[in-house]
Amino acid sequence: MLKAVVKTIALLAILFVMLYVGMNNTHVIDFHFPVAGTTAQAPIHTSAALIFFGVFAVGVLAGTILAVGSGGGAGGKKSSGSKDK
């Protein structure tokens, strides 16, 4: 229970920082990310806060996928601790 509360408070703190950055970075910027290929010719021209949010969201999704995993495959299964024998 306490672990869930601490994680929720941490998430709210991160969301507050995102809100604060969004409020103070309203100017429009050019975002270049040539590795992706699409922004090499034409950069994304939008608000700095929106780009910050997009990069943050991709990071959170990637972290969630890596933390949770697929649950299958070699070494991916977790034992429940009960013995069926």
Average pLDDT over residues 29-39: 79
- Running DSSP on this structure, what letter comes out for residue 44? E
- Give the chain's radius of gyration (CA, Å): 20
- 85 band by pLDDT with thresholds 50, 70 and 90: low
Give the confidence band of 72 by pLDDT, cuts at 50, 70, 90: low
For residue 54, count other CB atoms closer than 10 A to its CB. Answer: 13
The pLDDT of residue 28 is above 70: yes
Mean pLDDT within 11-18: 84
Q: Region 53-72: what's the mean pLDDT? A: 80
Q: Which pLDDT score is estimated for 52?
A: 82
- What is the reported pLDDT for 7? 85
